[in-house]
Structure 1
Amino acid sequence: MDQTLKLKKATYHLYTFTISKLISTFGAQVYTFAISFYILQLTGSATSFATNLICNILPRTLASPIAGYVADKYSRKKIVIISQIATTVTIITLLAVTLTSGLSLLAIYITTCVLSLTSMFSGVTFTASITGLIDKDRIQRAMSLNQMSISFAAIASPAVGGLLYGAVSMSTFLIIYICASIVAVILEATMDFNLFANRAQKEDGQQKESMWQGLKAGVNYLKLQKLVMTMIWISLLINFLFGAFEVGYSFILIEKMKMDSQAFGLTQGAFAVGMLLMSIYFSMGKEVKYPFLVSKRGIIGLGLLMAAIGIPLVVELSSLLTFIYYATIMFSFGVTVMIVNTPLQVLMQKEIDDDFKGRVFSILETMAMALMPLGMVIYGFLYDVFPPQWILLTSSLLLIGVVLFLARSSVVRKVHPEYGEAKRVPKVAGTVI
C-alpha cells in the first residue's frame, strides 16, 4: 500500500479506535455503575460488593497469559471482534434472565465473570495492536486520545447512571450496553490491524509453537526488560494494598456517608475529569524523560490521597462540603493515575517487540493483578469489622513504604542510568521529571 494511503488509513484508525473505545466504555461503565449500586442497596454488605469485584478480577488474572499468547499467534482483528460479539451476547442473555425470572446476585456474578474474560481478550489484543494500527510517530497521540475517550465515557457514564438509577429499570441499563457493544463491533470490523504491524511471518514447514512454549518465550523475553520487571514486582504489592480504595470508596460514600446516587456519580465523574485533563496535557507536551521516577512519585501521591478518603469519617462535614471534598479527592486521583500510567504505556509500546506485545502486556497484567482478588476478600471483611478510616490510613502507609523501598534511588538509577548525570539540569518546559 502507498505510504500516503497508509497514513490516511492510520488517521482513520486513530479516530475509529477512539470512538469505538468511547462507545463501548460508556456502555460498560453505565452497566458497572448500575450493578454496583444495585448490589450495595440490595445487600448493604461490602463483602457482596467485593465478591462482584473479585468476579471481575480473578478471571482476568487466570486467563490473561492465554489471551496474550492468542493475541501474538492469531488474527488480532478476529480476536477483538469475537470478544465484542461475546460481550453483546452475554448482556442480551442477562437481559432475558432479568425479564423472565428477575435479576439475582448469582446472575450478576456469572455475567461479571464472562464480561471480565471478553473485555480482557479485547483489551490485551487492542493494546498489542496499537503499533499495527498507528504509525510510530503518532503512538503517543493515539494513547492520549484513547485515554481521553475513556475519560469522556467515565465523566458521562456515572452522571448518566446516577440520574437514571431509580428512574428507569435495570433492563434499560442493559439495553444501553447492548446498543453500545453492537456499534463497537461495526467500527472494529472496518479496521486494518496489520497496517503497520511488524510481526514475523511463519515459514512453510516451520514447527508450530505450543502454547506452553509460547508463554515461556514471553517470560524469557520479559526478563530482559528491566523497567517492566521492576514495575511488575512493585505492582504486585501496590495492587493488593489498593484494594483498600477499590472496596472502601463506594462502601464509605454509599453506606457510611449515605450519599445519593446522583452525588456519588458526580464524584466518580470528577475522577474522569482529572484523567481527561492530564490526557490533554500529555497529548500536547513532550514525552516524559524519566517515566519510572514519575511513576514512583505518582504512586506516593496515590497513597496520600487514599489516606485522605477517611478524613470525613473523623471530621464532620456538611453534605455539600462532603461532596466537594470527595469530588476534589477523585479529581486528584484521576490526575495522579495518568501521571503514573501514560509515560510508561508509551515507552513500552515503543520498546517491546511486536511479536511479544500480547504476551508481555498479558503477563504484566496477570502479575499486577495476582494479589488483587485476595485483597478484595480481605478488605471486604475488614470494612465489615473495623473502622474504614484506620484501614485506609494503614494501607496508605504500607503503600508508600513499599514504593520507597522497591523504587529506591539505586533502582531508579539502574532503570535510568542517565538520571544521575541529568538530575541537576533545570527542568525543560513541557516535561515531567
Structure 2
Amino acid sequence: MLIFTISKYISILGGNVYAFGIGLYILNITGSAINFAISMVCSLIPRIIFGPLAGAWADYFSKKKIIVITQLVQSFSLFGVLFYAINFEFSLIVIYVTSVVLSICSTLSSVTFSSSITSLVNEEQIQKATSLNQSAISFAAIGAPVIGGLLYGLSSIENFLLINASTYLISGLLDMNLRFKHINEFSDSHQESKDKLLNRLKEAFLYLRQNDFLYSTILPIAIWVNFFGVSIQVGLPYIVVEKLQLSPFQFGIIEGSLAVGMLLMSLVLSTTKQITKPLVVMKASLLTLSVILLALILPLSIELTSSITFIYYVALILFFGVAIVFLNTPLYTMMQQTIPDSYKGRVFGFVETLANIISPVAILFYGLLYNYVNSIWILIGSSIALLLVTLIKMSNTEVLDIFKFQSTTETEREIP
C-alpha cells in the first residue's frame, strides 16, 4: 500500500507539473492559444484511442510490467527530449510528439493501475486504496501549478525536463517493488483466443451491455456527470474573471479550492470504514452537485462585494470537490468489487474512454452557450438536467443496492 501510494503521488504530480510547465513554455515562445490547444489535443486523442486497448492489455499482459515499462518509457522520452534540447533547437513538433508518447503511456498506466487495485490490496482495503488514489489526483491538482510555475520560472527548460524525467524514473523504480496477486480467471477457450484483441474488446462490451446495472445506471451517470461538470470547468473562469471582475489571483484560489476539497475528503475516506450503502451516498452526492450548480448563480443575481463573492465561491467550489470524491469513491469501489478481474481492465478502459470522448463535445457545447446565452440560465439548466438524470437513473437506490450483486453474478454466468 505504501509503495502504491508514493508511486501514484510522484507519477501523477510529475505528469501534471510537466503539462502545466510545457503549456507555459508554448505560450511563452509562440504567444498562440492555437499552438497550446494543439498540445492539448495531442494529449487527449491518444487517451480516447488507447483507452479500450489499455484495458484489454491490462487483462492480458502482466499489470506490473505494463506499469513499470510505461513509467520508464515516459522517463526515457523526456531524457531524450532533454538531449535534443541541449544539442538542437527545441521545436513545437518535438513537444507535440512527446505529448503523444506521454499520453499513450499515461493511459496505459492509469487504466492498469485502476483495474489492479484488487490485485494489490485486500478487500477491506479497497476503499482506502481508491481514496488514496483520488487524493493523489487532488494533491497533484493543487501542487502542480505551484511547483510547475516555480520550476519553469526559476530554472531553464533543460532543468525542467531533467526534474520531470527523474520523477518518472523514480516512480518506475518504486513500481518494480509492487506485489500483485496472481489471478487467473480465464477458461481454456478464453486462453486460446486471448491474442485476438478485437474479440477481447467485444467480450468486454458484451459484459457491459448484459450487466444492466453497469450499462444502464453507472455508465450513464459517469458520462452525464462528466458532461455537466464542464459547465463549471468552462463557465467558472468566464463568470469569475469576466462577469464578476475578480482578479486572476482570486480565481486561482477559487479553482484550487476544488482540489483542496477533493484531497481532504479523499484522506477522510481513506481512514474510515467501508461505505455500506454506496448508491445512497452516490445519489446524495449527485443531488448535492446539482444544488451547487444552482447556487453558483447567486453572485450573478444579487449584488455582493468582491470579498464576499470570493469567499462564497471558494466555499462553494470546495464543497463541489468534496461531493465529487463522495461520488467517485463508492462508484469505483463498487466497480472494483463487482467486476471480475478477467474483465476489469477492459471495463475501466471503456469507461475512461467514454468520459474522454464526451469532454471535448461538452467543452464545445458550453463554450458556444456561454458566448450566446446568459450564464444564469446555463447554470439553472445544467442543475435541472443533472437533477433529472439523478432521479431517473437512481430512482430506487435501495433496490439497486441489491440488484448490483445479482446482475453481476448473472452476467458472470452468461459471459463465457
Q: TM-score range by the shorter chain?
A: 0.7 to 0.9
**Does the 8 Å CA contact 1:158/1:269 hold for their aligned counterparts?**
no
- Give the equivalent residue in structure 2 for 1:430: none
Q: By how many angstroms is 1:38 displaced?
A: 6.4
Contact in 1 for aligned 2:66/2:112 (Cα 8 Å): yes
Q: Which residue of 1 aligns with 2:53?
A: 66
Q: In the alignment, what sits opposite 2:411?
A: none
Q: Distance in 2 between matches of 1:126 and 1:32?
A: 20
1:168 CA displacement: 4.9
The 1:89–1:303 alpha-carbon spacing in structure 2 relative to 1, beyond 3 Å, is farther
Question: Does the Cα contact within 8 Å between 1:159 and 1:265 map onto a contact in 2?
Answer: no
For residues 327 and 177 of structure 1, do their structure 2 counterparts lie closer, same or farther at Cα, with a shift above 3 Å needed?
farther
Q: TM-score, normalised by structure 1?
A: 0.78
Structure 2 distance, partners of 1:389, 1:92, is 48
Question: d(CA) in 1 for partners of 2:178 and 2:331?
Answer: 26
Specify whether residues 302 and 168 from structure 1 end up closer, same or farther in structure 2 by C-alpha distance, changes over 3 A only. Answer: farther
Point out the more displaced range, 294-303 or 118-127. Answer: 294-303
Q: 1:198 is aligned with what amino acid?
A: I
The answer as to whether partners of 1:81 and 1:189 remain within 8 angstroms in 2 is yes
CA distance in 2, matches of 1:223, 1:293: 24
Residue identity opposite 1:228 in structure 2: L
Instruction: Determine the C-alpha separation between the residues in 2 that align with 1:108 and 1:321.
Output: 42
1:298 equivalenced with 2:298 (yes/no): no
Contact 1:54 1:376 in 2 (8 A): no
Pairwise mapping of residues 107-126 of structure 1 onto structure 2 (< 5 A)? 110-126=97-113
Q: Which moved more, 1:18-27 or 1:230-239?
A: 230-239
The answer on 1:213 being equivalent to 2:196 is no
Query: Given the alignment of the two structures, is residue 415 of structure 1 paired with residue 400 of structure 2, yes or no?
Result: yes
CA contact (8 A) 2:186 2:342 kept: no
Cα distance in 2 for residues equivalent to 1:228 and 1:55: 30
Q: Which moved more, 1:121-130 or 1:138-147?
A: 138-147
- 8 Å CA contact 1:54, 1:373 repeated in 2: no
Q: Matches of 2:66 and 2:403 in 1, distance apart? A: 40
Unaligned segments of structure 2, at least 5 residues:
405-416
Distance in 2, matches of 1:181 and 1:241, equals: 33
- Mapped to 1, the partners of 2:74 and 2:144 lie a distance apart of 18
Task: Structure 1: state its 5+ residue gaps.
Answer: 1-13, 420-433
Contact 2:246 2:306 in 1 (8 A): no
Name the structure with the higher helix share.
Answer: 2
Matching of residues 114-263 of structure 1 within 5 Å: 114-161=101-148, 166-168=153-155, 172-193=159-180, 196-200=181-185, 207-209=192-194, 210-229=196-215, 230-253=217-240, 257=245, 259-260=247-248, 263=250
Q: Note the aligned Cα RMSD (angstroms).
A: 3.5
Partners in 1 of 2:285 and 2:330 — Cα distance? Answer: 11
User: What SS is found at the alignment partner of 1:192?
Assistant: coil
SS at match of 1:242: helix
Equivalent residue number for residue 21 of structure 1: 8
- Aligned residue type for 1:64: G
Q: Which residue is 1:325 aligned to?
A: 312
Q: Deviations over 1:108-143 (max 9, x none)?
A: 555444333221110111112112222223222222
Q: Which amino acid aligns with 1:215?
A: L
TM-score (ref. length: structure 2): 0.81
1:406 equivalenced with 2:390 (yes/no): no
Moved more, 206-215 or 18-27: 206-215
Number of corresponding residues: 399
Q: Distance in 1 between matches of 2:24 and 2:239?
A: 13
Q: 1:415 to 1:359 in 2, by over 3 A?
A: same
Are the structure 2 counterparts of residues 350 and 49 from structure 1 closer, same or farther at C-alpha, using a change threshold of 3 Å? same
Percent identity reads 37
Amino acid corresponding to residue 178 of structure 1 in structure 2: A
